[in-house]
Amino acid sequence: MQESNAALAQRSRVLVTGASGFVGRALVERLVADRRHSVRAAVRTPMTDLPAAVEQVRIADIDATTEWRAALAGVEFVVHAAARVHVMRERHHDPLGAFREVNVAGTLRLAQEAAAAGVRRLVFLSSIKVNGESTAPGHPFREDDAPAPRDPYGISKREAEDGLLALARTTAMQVVIVRPPLVYGPGVRANFARLMRLVRSGMPLPLGAIDNRRTFVALDNLVDLIVTCIDHPAAANEIFLAGDAEDLSTTDLLRRLGAALGRPARLVPIPARWIESAAALIGRRAIADRLCGSLQLDIDKAARVLGWKPPCDVDAALRATAARFLASSGR
């Protein structure tokens, strides 16, 4: 049964940027399902597969000149998930400049126009790369650690955060920053999809003795935290790290991915130091660092301040991820 116009009018309106992306699309679908907010999606081109209840507004390239006025009309909350994302093989002649154009100048342009339009709160999807690239075992990143971004993407996200928090100090608009690690879930691509393809192939992998610890975040868990941050009173002007309730070693991740895929991972127990040495010899040290190194996040602040806990456990999230992967690859 359709809701009355009066009921619809009582809902606060949320603008989601990056609605065609991995996180943005899932967020839009969750907000529509929750029926607590009306949803407006900022899209480059109209999308035919979004729920009918979503209002779509076309936005061209995001930079310092983007015009947001029409998209922000009547909006109380903004979730900014659009970004120039991290890429493994950067081809731009000025990577930092390219990231700054979208992730810093574009973000601050949106935030300034949002504050002028009377938006109550902007939730910014940042990255754990603001904290750094790795952690010592047992010493997870926390929100109050000194930022130490090492690549252009992380630097741009840190600069955007600084600009947003400065804006929050001089306007009535609140800001919330969420820093996730690698996000996985149904439809995931890039490195996580490559891992699934390797496990499914049955190829022996020299990763059976990796005793690192890494925090990942299931798409449903990240979306749930973002939704919580939209209007939770205690979230105002805070930074939160996102993650699952359980950290995994690379070996454990591959074994559990194999179980989810119905294809046990074939893991050979090669010492991590051997893998790192071999990778350095062939110029692939960064890949070895991600496979063998630790990257842990302490998500306790979200529990203390917001009462938030990840609603989805790791194995359930891996099964959902594997199911979509198998369906899309024809098993």
pLDDT, tens digit (0-9, with 9 covering 90-100), for 178-218: 999 999 999 999 899 999 999 999 999 999 999 999 999 99
CA distances from 32 to 19, 132, 179, 221, 279 (A): 13, 34, 23, 17, 46
Q: What is the pLDDT of residue 6?
A: 47
DSSP H or E stretch at residue 14 = strand 12-17
The pLDDT tens digits of the residues spanning 126-154 come to: 999 999 999 998 899 999 999 999 999 99
What whole-number distance in Å separates Cα of residue 29 and Cα of residue 84? 22
Ordered by start, the domain boundaries in the chain are 8-179
Q: What is the pLDDT of residues 69-97, one digit of tens each?
A: 999 999 999 999 999 986 656 677 799 99
How buried is residue 2: exposed, middle or buried, by Cβ count under 10 Å (0-12/13-18/19+)? exposed
Q: How far apart are the first and last CA of the chain?
A: 38
* 259-296: pLDDT as tens digits: 999 999 999 999 999 999 988 888 888 888 889 999 99
Tell me: the pLDDT tens digits for 9-53?
Answer: 568 999 999 999 999 999 999 999 999 999 999 999 999 999 999
- Which tokens sit at 189? 């691509």
184 is catalytic: no
Q: What pLDDT shows up at residue 255?
A: 98
Q: Please state, in angstroms and rounded to a whole number, the distance separating the CA atoms of residues 92 and 97.
A: 9
Determine which one of 68, 77, 124, 153 is catalytic.
153
Q: Is 263 strand, coil or helix?
A: coil
Q: If one looks up domain 8-179 in CATH, what number appears?
A: 3.40.50.720
Q: State the alpha helices, DSSP H only, in 1-83.
A: 5-10, 22-34, 69-72
DSSP readout, 172-204?
S-EEEEEE--SEE-TT--HHHHHHHHHHHHT--
